[in-house]
Amino acid sequence: MGSVRRHAVLAASAEKVWDFIGRPEVLHEWFPTSSTRVEGDKRWVTLPSGIVFEEQILLVDNDLRRFQYSIIGNPLITHHVGTFDVIALDDDRCIVVYGTDIEPEVLGLAIGAAAGQGLRNLQERFGKG
């Protein structure tokens, strides 16, 4: 099992950041993907390499500010759960924590790399905390 975690501190309130990244349809505006399509609790994400991930949205918890999803329907990927949490540090700063558990494990590293880029994109948008 590949298990990875990335995090970033942002110079914005948890509420403001969650209002943005808590919307599953805007993933491509911060995560290094080309496009996002959402229908109900399903999401299709197209990567720059042309690969399309079909995802099951497992949880959008506006109180906990937690988003969970799973890549499904991919014969290569036998298990996956991805989670990001937005946690308030104070009124003007929050930390975003992204984690993924995946089989095959090597994909965890690649998704972790993408998450790292996504978090850097969030820091550009909201500022480093």
Partner 1 sequence: MPRRILFVTTDQQRYDGLGCNGGAVARTPVIDAIAREGIRYTRAIPSNVVCMPSRSTMLTGQHVSTHGVWMNGVPLPVDAPSIAMDLWRNGWRTALIGKAHFEPFLDPFALFTENSLATLGEETLYRETADGRREPHRGFEHMELATHNGMGPLHYAKWLRENHPEAIGMLYPILNAQLQVNEAGGGDTGAPQVKHNPMPREWYHTDWVADRAAAWLDAQSDSDDWFCWVSFPDPHHAWDPPMSELHRVDWRQLDLPAGWIDDPIERERVLAGKPAHWLGWYHGTFVSNYEAPAKWVPATLTADQVREVNAMVHIQNELIDEALGRIINLLRAKGWYDDVDVVFTTDHGEFQGDFGLLFKGPYHVDSLMRLPLVWRPAPSRTTVTPATVDTPVGLVSLAATFADIAGLPRPDYTESARLPVDDDEAVGLGHERVLTEWDSVLFGKIVSLRTITRGTWVCTATLPGSVHDGTDGELYDLRNDPLQHVNLWHDPAHRAVRDDLLDDMWKNLPTTSSPRRECDAPV
Give the one residue of 72, 113, 124, 127 binding partner 1; rule: CB under 8 A.
113
- With beta carbons less than 8 A apart as the criterion, state whether 80 and 101 touch: yes
Kindly state the smallest distance separating residue 15's Cβ from partner 1, in Å: 28
At 92, list the tokens: 């003007």
Other residues' Cβ atoms within 10 Å of the Cβ of residue 89: 13
Helical (H) or strand (E) element with 105: none
First to last CA, the chain: 32
Q: Looking at 35-43, 62-70, 82-90, 101-109, which segment touches partner 1 (CB under 8 A)?
A: 101-109
Residue 76 sits in the site that holds partner 1 (CB under 8 A): yes
Q: Residue numbers of the site for partner 1 (CB under 8 A)?
A: 1-3, 6, 32-33, 47-49, 51, 76, 104-110, 112-114, 116-117
